[in-house]
Structure 1
Amino acid sequence: MIVTRGLTKRYGRVTAVDAVALRVGEGDRYGLLGPNGSGKTTLVRMLLGLVYATSGEIEVLGEPVPRRVLRVLPHVGALVEGPGAYGHLSGRANLSYLDAAGPGGSRRGRRARVNEALERVGLGGVDNRPVRTYSLGMRQRLGLAAALLRAPRLLVLDEPTNGLDPQGIREIRDLLTALNAAGTTILLCSHLLTEVEELCSHVGVMDGGRLVLQQRMDEIRSPTGRTEIRTPDADRVRALLDGQVEVADGDRLLVRTPDPAELNARLVRAGARIAELRPERRTLEQVVLAVSGPGSDRPA
């Protein structure tokens, strides 16, 4: 769905995006992580033809961008750098205008499309208040509704849960999961680790304009080859497993072993009390901290 090769954007002496090779496959839920200033938004704007690259190549939906971006955009829904709207108009009027202005914007079915988009983002009961009176969360929802008007094949979202309360964040997460299950590919830009970890199947990490990590989430979460043990008999377990314990912190031990089940059986036979035993898995936070440069404004 999205492929870039050596994608670079410079503003004078500043390199905002540096030789990025991004790959988003059909059906992916791809989370692009990075702090403010890491290059995420510049990268997304180049994908949509809003900013021209200094060098490199972009393909979206199999078409070169920006050369054939007009073929691409009717199949892409986007929310980038916050929702835009006419403040004096209602949310419904804004969506009707966008639907009419878009490619093939026929009157037929417009009201149904607008109503469906509003319902999907939780604004079905919105009244005729002008958008300038909306809260930030309502504006975010309206922006997402605009992105969904044409049932896009690809959805590109930049911080879509900004301004939402926890319930709203969950609702948007559930909506995106359902859209993805129905066939929509999602590229989600965020600085929130939890948002990406709970939603995405693939992760990319931007740092200083570079894509420093690109990996499947299940690979990130794969077992490390160590087993975490919590036991009130820590000293005894350490003696039993002489040479295998790599970390000891109070009642918590990390043991290098190829077979956690065999380890558990061995300790039980020896009479050791085991409160918890499980394979160690890396967290997304650990991975991001490992690949981010020293002193960078890391994702929260």
Structure 2
Amino acid sequence: MSGTAVIRTRGLTKRYGELRAVDGIDLEVAEGAVYGFLGANGSGKTTTVRMLLGLVLPTEGSAEVLGAPMPASRTTVLPQVGALVEGPGAYDHLSGRLNLALLDAAGPDPLPRRDRRRRCAEVLEQVGLDPADRRPVRAYSLGMRQRLGLAAALLRRPRLLVLDEPTNGLDPQGIREIRTLLLALNAEGTTIFLSSHLLAEIEQMCTDVGVLDRGRLVLQDRLDQLLRPSGLVEVHSPDAHAAARLLGDAVVEVAGERMLVRADDAASLNHHLVGSGVRVARLGPYERDLEQVVLEASSVPPAPVETRAEVLTS
């Protein structure tokens, strides 16, 4: 990861009694990145986000946001950060526009009334809500509430957006619209730290990925590096055991009729196998998707596979 870090933690830890909700993590989020923060429910993602924003005090370790220590620098840092954490909060009896106006008026540097009205309308339109809608928020759907929370996060044109499951409750069209909006904001220079369980969305949006598993940061890298070509060929054959004996040390693993083989040229490998009497049902470069990367990094037990030694001795 390159560039100036807008989020950096060192040994960040949060304990609740004997439970280590977050266990000594070292995050590094570069300026201009779209950083996907992944993990199962209960892995510690929201606790981490809350520590970054100064809402929860760490038990050990340190956190810096926009180059300043948190929570000591909350008053100077938070006005530059837009956040949506654990669902949007709002006054249910007021409209979305009035909620945003009150939020701005209560802030450290409120806009003049005319500018406030214009800015509230702008962000509502950005997230797909009608600025003229006078319905109280209690009449909003979950997806509309989520859009309002995102509008609140955008109100002050933040340098950094910290979002916890921002597409929760949205339909596929809404998810696509929010994705397009976030990518446009990033193109204009906003750094985005995005906590989500939607791997397909992360894979389409993010430049960098961190994976949290039971409070530990088990993976952190650029997405293009994680998904780079593996140098392996995936072979599906009803004669997998015979093929493994033929190929020897080039075989990485065998699982049923599926094999992973080290090979520079898939066509030559296919020719060798077929010429040796091995039936090949399918063959091609092995490419991992983000789901496979996350599962391999986390504590989720992988599907049983046979090692090459087990194949050769069977």
| TM-score greater than 0.5 by the shorter chain | yes
Q: Give yes or no for the alignment of 1:8 onto 2:13.
A: yes
Q: 1:72 is matched with which residue?
A: 77
Whether the 8 Å CA contact 1:122–1:141 is kept in 2: the answer is yes
SS in 2 for 1:164: coil
Which one is further off, 97-106 or 38-47? Answer: 97-106
Residue 24 of structure 2, aligned match among 5, 12, 19: 19
Structure 2, unaligned runs of 5 or more:
1-5, 302-314
- 1:124-139 matched pairs, under 5 angstroms: 124=130, 127-139=133-145
Whether the 8 Å CA contact 1:247–1:255 is kept in 2: the answer is no
- 1:103-252 matched pairs, under 5 angstroms: 103-107=108-112, 108-124=114-130, 127-228=133-234, 242-243=247-248, 244=250, 247=254
Q: Report Cα offsets for 1:210-247 as digits up to 9, x if no partner.
A: 1111111111111111123579x989x959x7444654
SS in 1 for 2:231: strand
Q: Does the C-alpha gap of structure 1 residues 205 and 242 become closer, same or farther in structure 2, counting only changes over 3 Å?
A: closer
What amino acid maps onto 1:79 in structure 2? L
Q: Does the C-alpha gap of structure 1 residues 130 and 275 become closer, same or farther in structure 2, counting only changes over 3 Å?
A: same
Q: 2:45 is matched with which residue?
A: 40
What amino acid maps onto 2:225 in structure 1? E
What amino acid maps onto 1:128 in structure 2? R
SS in 2 for 1:194: helix
What amino acid maps onto 2:262 in structure 1? R
- 1:79-94 matched pairs, under 5 angstroms: 79-94=84-99
The Cα shift of 1:121 comes to 0.6
- TM-score when normalising by structure 2: 0.83
Whether the 8 Å CA contact 2:121–2:131 is kept in 1: the answer is no
Q: Give yes or no for the alignment of 1:55 onto 2:60.
A: yes
Which one is further off, 210-219 or 282-291? Answer: 282-291
Whether the 8 Å CA contact 2:12–2:61 is kept in 1: the answer is yes
For 2:282 and 2:34, the matched residues in 1 are separated by 33
Whether the 8 Å CA contact 1:77–1:147 is kept in 2: the answer is yes
Q: Give yes or no for the alignment of 1:279 onto 2:298.
A: no
Which one is further off, 213-222 or 261-270? Answer: 261-270
For 1:293 and 1:166, the matched residues in 2 are separated by 30
Which fold has the larger relative contact order, with Cα–Cα distance below 8 Å and residues 6 or more apart in sequence?
1
For 1:173 and 1:126, the matched residues in 2 are separated by 24
Which one is further off, 15-24 or 189-198? Answer: 189-198
Q: Does the C-alpha gap of structure 1 residues 125 and 68 become closer, same or farther in structure 2, counting only changes over 3 Å?
A: closer
Q: Does the C-alpha gap of structure 1 residues 104 and 264 become closer, same or farther in structure 2, counting only changes over 3 Å?
A: farther
For 1:33 and 1:126, the matched residues in 2 are separated by 36
Whether the 8 Å CA contact 2:208–2:221 is kept in 1: the answer is yes
For 1:80 and 1:227, the matched residues in 2 are separated by 42
The Cα shift of 1:253 comes to 5.6
Q: Does the C-alpha gap of structure 1 residues 289 and 114 become closer, same or farther in structure 2, counting only changes over 3 Å?
A: same
| Structure 1 ranges of 4+ moved more than 6 A | 264-270, 272-276
What amino acid maps onto 2:201 in structure 1? E
Q: 1:298 is matched with which residue?
A: none
Q: 1:28 is matched with which residue?
A: 33
Number of equivalent positions: 292
What amino acid maps onto 1:290 in structure 2? E
